Structure 1
Amino acid sequence: MQPSIPTDRTIYKILTPEEWAVLRRDEQSSGSDLDQTDGFIHFSTTAQLQGTLDRHYKDAGTLVLAEIPLSALQQRDLRWEPARDGSLFPHLYEALSLSVIARHWTLHPNADGGYALPNLSR
């Protein structure tokens, strides 16, 4: 059975401060080294976000969390693809434009190297 595409209206990109600076300077980005290696930009839904932070960013220092409304990506090459556990993650097969980012937050690690999410509701 195929997992269904999440009904989220927003997705999130986690960036290092350096990646955020490049995105702000160039107004677009081809993503992190991992994104470039994989050939797409990795995003997470609201439900996936804490797990992504815990698995891939523990002890990573200060991070930037960018919120992107899915409506801003309607004409873009965004695909929902299965992860190892079968859940669907959003992947963008083109550059990320600064113009699609609605909000962003700076995330600071807590004492154990993890991150608490900001209030993402509007």
Structure 2
Amino acid sequence: MLIFKIFRTDEWQALRASGETAGAPIDLADGYVHFSTATQASETAAKHFANVDGLFLIAVNAEDAGDALKWEVSRGDALFPHLYRKLTLADVVWAQPLPLIDGVHQLPPGFEEASQ
């Protein structure tokens, strides 16, 4: 199963440059890297990145995260994946731009099928 992280361009570039990251400012504050499932990604983009352009959607294989990945109750009492270690570039299965068109982030073509 793939899980997803939304990064601003500078955060994605920093991960690519250093090979690892403790995440975005909210991740640093909370002590883990926030992820979303495929069904949660659109709402996460709308809620936390409204009208923010230049985003990237990063896919990670949940099984590869091992015991460092915890599923915890969050927004709407849904379980969200949280990574309790640094995210490494080696963890990234793929990364795609998340364009903003008419105020709505556009998930990559075939996103739902590719996330299985």
Query: Where does residue 70 of structure 2 map in the other structure?
Result: 79
- After TM superposition, give the deviation of residue 114 of structure 1 in Å: 1.7
| Match 1:108 to one of 74, 77, 99 | 99
Mapped pair 1:41 → 2:33: yes
- After TM superposition, give the deviation of residue 106 of structure 1 in Å: 0.6
Structure-2 separation of matches of 1:116 and 1:21: 20
User: In 1, are the aligned partners of 2:71 and 2:82 still within 8 Å (CA)?
Assistant: yes
- After TM superposition, give the deviation of residue 84 of structure 1 in Å: 3.9
Mapped pair 1:15 → 2:14: no
Structure with more of its chain in helix, by fraction: 2
Query: Where does residue 60 of structure 1 map in the other structure?
Result: 52
- Gaps of at least 5 residues in structure 2 are none
Q: Deviations over 1:31-58 (max 9, x none)?
A: 0001000111000000101110111111
Structure-2 separation of matches of 1:84 and 1:22: 28
Percent of matched pairs sharing the same residue: 32
Q: Structure 1 stretches (4+) deviating beyond 3 angstroms?
A: none
Aligned residue pairs: how many? 112
Amino acid at match of 2:26: L
- After TM superposition, give the deviation of residue 29 of structure 1 in Å: 0.3
Query: Where does residue 19 of structure 2 map in the other structure?
Result: 27
| Match 2:80 to one of 60, 78, 89 | 89
- After TM superposition, give the deviation of residue 71 of structure 1 in Å: 2.3
Structure with more of its chain in strand, by fraction: 2
Mapped pair 1:117 → 2:107: yes
Q: Over aligned residues, Cα RMSD in angstroms?
A: 1.1
Give the structure with higher Rg (CA). Answer: 1
Structure-2 separation of matches of 1:67 and 1:97: 12
